[in-house]
Amino acid sequence: MTLATLSEVLQPALREGYAVAGLVTLGWEDMRAFVAAAEAEGVPVILQAGPGCRAHTPLPVLGAMFRNLADHASVPVVAHLDHGHSFDECQAALDAGFSSLMFDGSRLPLAENIAETARVVALAHGAGISCEGEIGFVGYAEGESSAGTDPVEAGRFANETSVDAMAVSVGNVHLQQETGGRLDEVRIRAIEAETNVPLVIHGGSGVPVDQRTALARGSNICKYNIGTELRMAFGQALRDAVNRDPTRFDRVQILSEVHDPMVAATRKVLAALKPAG
């Protein structure tokens, strides 16, 4: 069994100069492809169940799926709750067998975010698993704007919550379909001056690949969340499979042809985050 906590995969990344991908899952087909790609690259992987995924698949089912994949994987697999918005939701994920929780209090006032995140950290650590928090709201392409993380507030947040990883807002946005502007490296260095906790970039699909690699190897950024980029690859592979024979109706047959393209696309993401050499 290779089920791992977030700390178990991020602390080596912090020490050795690489990053681990937090891959946003929507169903069995992408989860399975993500693990296959991680095995092919010989790297750990974080399987993430975000709000969209949880809207159509119950947490106990997702936990069982993640753990089944981990049971048979040759690399460490983290079962991670992404953007948990309440203590109860985090408790439910813990009960469902997740090995990592992420509480998103980034819309809350600082003191309230610290207090609520610390509650979830205590819950997670009491069960022997990890917790990620977020300081500085990360916005959305074509939607809410980001609020950049204040470095001093980030230091206070990390110190007072004891989070195992800290998501920050440094020019990144969710749901970006094309690589956009580069991350604010000045702000990243200022945050690093206040704390040595592993940093997380949500909305990693919008970050240019060369900068992902450089910061994975030369900063405290140890986790990139990748969703849109791989959902687009899945959609293209699915359209190709459907259009290959419009008379087919068996979804198992159709979806089987999505696996190899998804593994190939995921391997490119993972390879860019590996250590130098």
**Single-letter amino acid, residue 122:** A
Determine which one of 82, 104, 150, 164 is catalytic. 82
What interhelical angle do 151-161 and 110-126 show, nearest 10? 40
Q: Is 82 a catalytic residue?
A: yes
Could you give the residue ranges of the DSSP H alpha helices within 43-150?
Answer: 51-56, 59-71, 87-95, 110-126
Cα–Cα distance, 8 to 98 (Å, whole number): 14
- Contact status, residue 77 vs residue 69, Cβ threshold 8 Å: yes
- Contact status, residue 185 vs residue 143, Cβ threshold 8 Å: no
Indicate the burial class of 123 (C-beta count within 10 angstroms; 0-12, 13-18, 19 or more): middle
Diameter of the chain measured on Cα atoms: 60
Cα–Cα distance, 239 to 241 (Å, whole number): 5
Q: Which residues are catalytic?
A: 82
